[in-house]
Amino acid sequence: MSDQYTMQDPTTQYPGPDESFEQQQEGPGLQGEMAPKPDSGESSYRGSGRLEGRRAVVTGADSGIGRATAIAYAREGADVVLSYLPQEEPDAREVVELIEAAGRRAVAVPGDVTDKAYCEQLIATAVAELGGIDILANIAGKQQHCPDILELTDEQFDETYKTNVYAMFWLCKAAVPHLPPGSAIINTSSIQGYQPAPILLDYASTKYAINGFSKSLAAQLAPKGIRVNVVAPGPVWTPLQVVGGQPAEKLPEFGASEAPLGRPGQPAEMAPAYVFLASQESSYVSGETLAATGGMPTP
């Protein structure tokens, strides 16, 4: 496992993909059953008090980028409300233990973000349990490859938009009345919002929507002292890829051909972006999309 804090060659900081990456799980998938297992910073992320006393809600907090962000937030001093699907409980339990080991409070709230009532209850639980909320990190996502628009069902299109776009809208709308000045909302786009793959028609279009939504909301909330920003990851090794996000036969080359750094990113490499955008260090940053794409260009 790599040490994130030692200067090194980013092309070899983590291993590139190989035949071991070719695997599939039934959705929603568990990080604990992946091999190689993604690095979400469990052993490498070191905090420095940048979010001391903050109260965060993180969706998709059981695995991948959400897991890495929840761990990083706790080690930076925040209490964390974790949102994840009930089927992801084994992964989520590990995150709860890691947050508590950091001396912070973890509130587990399993449920489905495609349900408006759950989204509203998630925010209400955060306010009740933590006394408020000042960080909302919308990270949960749905991605299913489909090579032909004629095969893309209404059901998949609808679920992708509800997971990636509607949930973000519902959560932001529920959270805003509780967010004090200095709060931060961080949404999650993708390189697919700039370089859409033909097999990810529905997913890529949600990422365009997230960018536009976030820039508009940032302008709307700026007078309230609430910042809204976006992280746009490139190809990152998470359960999203092995539950149909990519064709299994493509995974042995995942990230190697697209990213100039020659490998997929790891969730641990995304978390610092979410920490920066939540912290006071980014006090003059709003309406921005921070790309962490391994060198893949964005406008």
Q: What is the Cα–Cα distance from 250 to 254, expressed in whole angstroms?
A: 6
The two counts, helices (H) then strands (E), for the chain are 8, 7
Radius of gyration of the chain (CA): 18
* Cβ atoms 27, 87 nearer than 8 A: no
- Alpha carbon distance 291, 297 (integer Å): 9
73 is catalytic: no
Place of tokens 């990152």: 236
pTM for the model: 0.97
Strand segments (E) across 138-226 = 184-188
At position 185, the amino acid (one-letter code) is I
- Taking each helix axis from N to C end, the angle separating 64-75 and 89-101, rounded to the nearest 10 degrees, works out to 20
Which residue in 194, 203, 208, 284 is the catalytic one?
A: 203
Q: What residue ranges define each of the domains in the chain, with the CATH number in brackets?
A: 53-292 (3.40.50.720)
- The tens place of each residue's pLDDT in the chain, 299 residues long, gives 457 789 999 999 999 999 999 999 998 999 999 999 999 999 999 999 999 999 999 999 999 999 999 999 999 999 999 999 999 999 999 999 999 999 999 999 999 999 999 999 999 999 999 999 999 999 999 999 999 999 999 999 999 999 999 999 999 999 999 999 999 999 999 999 999 999 999 999 999 999 999 999 999 999 999 999 999 999 999 999 999 999 999 999 999 989 999 999 999 999 999 999 999 999 999 999 999 999 999 98
Q: How many Å apart are CA 192 and CA 18, to the nearest integer?
A: 23
